[in-house]
Amino acid sequence: MGVTIVIPTFNESGNVAELVRRISAVLSTTDAEILFVDDSTDGTDDEVRRVSQTAELPVRVIHRDAPINGLGGAVVEGFREAAYETCVVMDGDLQHPPEKIPELLERVGRGDVDLVAASRYVGDGNASGLADWGRHLVSRTSTVVTRAMFPAKLRRVTDPMTGFFAINTSAIDLAALQPRGFKILLEIIVRTPVRVSEIPFEFADRFAGESKASIAQGIRFFRQLTLLRFGKMSAFAVIGALGAVANVAIVWLLTEAGIVDYVWAAIIAAEVTIIGNFLMLERFVFRDMKGAARGFWHRFASSFIFNNVESAVRIPVMSLMVTAWGMPSPIATAITLAVAFVIRFTFHSLVVYRPRA
């Protein structure tokens, strides 16, 4: 049996030579290949080709000119193109020490598990390579939240956020995976019935280049977590909730400042949040359905018209709640928005993003 080392990369040219050298050193007696799946803009793919000419192991690179589904999508593509069923997934920045690969392979090779994850939070593992206390806090918090949301699936997993693991790909249905962003291990464990074990490892300092951690990555992870746990409706609800908060805030600001009365404030707030919500739905909820649906402006027009009709009905109801019942306008706004949620979700799922005939 052999192993394919799958390395998803984005602008890691400075790490390629050292990474290949260290992997080759620990797998010199093993049938193995190194497969980079690269989304870079800094010439990482060219560096891989250069290093491959003198590498001790076969080294390949798949460069994706139009990356789909982030680093998680790159890993799945690597699984499909791998020469061997056993794969080790690791980052391209050397924070995952290649010297742990033989231990991962030995454990998964026993045959009683399908996936072995290298954990920072079991045994003598540690996360010392995280840049600062802020990243330590984010890592720990996101791990606790994730385990709380999937208590059964993750009951034996201490580090579902790790990107360093070995897997027997014949044990999983690749078509069942829907990677979004970079946390592919969580996707695999939640969507497929894999048997999981862990070994400890020390998360090292980055060798070269800069961390890719960002607010945008955090938003993608939150979206992935939400969709895994609850599906599109919950992601729609999260965006709707954000829009509702913005809507209420706009109504409050405009009425408190005495700029307009509550009816006009509600109209302005509705138009602003209708446009904002649509753009967020495009990006975070219905992204996978856009390709089969009608064009952007058709989707925008149908969403915009529907939401304005819905607002035309909702705002008079809100006005009645304020004038007849004496309810504060922000509370009336929040209640009517909550009632409209199910209707909006159904319309967008079945009409706005309906596949073209």
Q: Which one, of 238, 251, 256, lies nearest residue 311 by Cα?
A: 251
State how far the Cα of 142 lies from the Cα of 226, in Å rounded to an integer. 13
Q: Is 65 exposed, middle or buried (0-12, 13-18, 19+ CB in 10 A)?
A: exposed
- How many other C-beta atoms can be found within 10 angstroms of the C-beta atom of residue 154? 19
Q: Write down the pLDDT at residue 217.
A: 57
Q: Write down the pLDDT at residue 216.
A: 59
Q: Write down the pLDDT at residue 28.
A: 85
Residue 341 one-letter amino acid: F
State how far the Cα of 315 lies from the Cα of 124, in Å rounded to an integer. 59
Question: For the stretch 75-96, what's the b/e string if a residue is b when 16 or more beta carbons lie within 10 angstroms of its beta carbon?
Answer: bbbbbeebebebbbbbbbbbbb
Q: Which one, of 148, 101, 139, 98, lies nearest residue 120 by Cα?
A: 139
Tokens 């596949």 identify what position? Answer: 355
Per the rule left: phi > 0, alpha: psi between -120 and 50, beta: everything else, 159 is beta
Q: Write down the pLDDT at residue 86.
A: 95
Answer for the pair 292, 356: CB distance below 8 angstroms, yes or no. Answer: yes
Q: Write down the pLDDT at residue 349.
A: 75
In Å, how far are 166, 190, 198 from 106, measured between CA atoms? 10, 24, 12
What tokens does 129 get?
């390579």
Q: Which one, of 253, 288, 270, lies nearest residue 344 by Cα?
A: 270
Q: Write down the pLDDT at residue 184.
A: 86
In Å, how far are 37, 59, 102, 308 from 27, measured between CA atoms? 20, 13, 8, 62
Q: Write down the pLDDT at residue 351.
A: 84
Task: Report residue 199: phi and psi, to 5°.
Answer: -130, 155
Q: Write down the pLDDT at residue 344.
A: 81
Q: Write down the pLDDT at residue 108.
A: 94
Q: Write down the pLDDT at residue 25.
A: 94
Give the global pTM. Answer: 0.63
Q: Write down the pLDDT at residue 288.
A: 73
State how far the Cα of 118 lies from the Cα of 127, in Å rounded to an integer. 11
Q: Write down the pLDDT at residue 292.
A: 82
Question: How big is the chain, counted in residues?
Answer: 357
Answer for the pair 338, 247: CB distance below 8 angstroms, yes or no. Answer: no
Q: Write down the pLDDT at residue 218.
A: 61
Full pLDDT tens readout for the chain, 357 residues = 799 999 999 888 888 999 999 999 999 888 999 999 998 888 899 999 999 999 999 999 999 987 777 788 899 999 999 999 999 999 888 889 999 999 999 999 998 999 999 998 888 776 665 555 556 666 677 777 777 667 677 878 888 888 899 999 999 988 888 776 667 888 898 888 899 999 999 887 665 545 555 555 566 666 666 666 666 677 788 888 888 888 889 999 998 888 888 888 888 888 899 899 899 888 888 877 788 888 999 999 999 999 888 878 877 888 888 888 888 888 887 787 777 776 787 788 778 888 776
Q: Is 276 exposed, middle or buried (0-12, 13-18, 19+ CB in 10 A)?
A: middle
Answer for the pair 344, 244: CB distance below 8 angstroms, yes or no. Answer: no
Q: Which one, of 251, 262, 233, 354, lies nearest residue 299 by Cα?
A: 354
Give the start-to-end residue ranges of the domains of the chain: 3-212, 231-352
The second-level CATH assignment, the architecture, of 3-212 is Alpha-Beta Complex (3.90)
Q: Write down the pLDDT at residue 298.
A: 92
DSSP string of 7-51? Answer: EEESS-GGGHHHHHHHHHHHSTTS-EEEEEEE--SSSHHHHHHHH
What tokens does 258 get?
């005495």
State how far the Cα of 111 lies from the Cα of 85, in Å rounded to an integer. 13
Helix (H), strand (E) at residue 166: strand 165-168
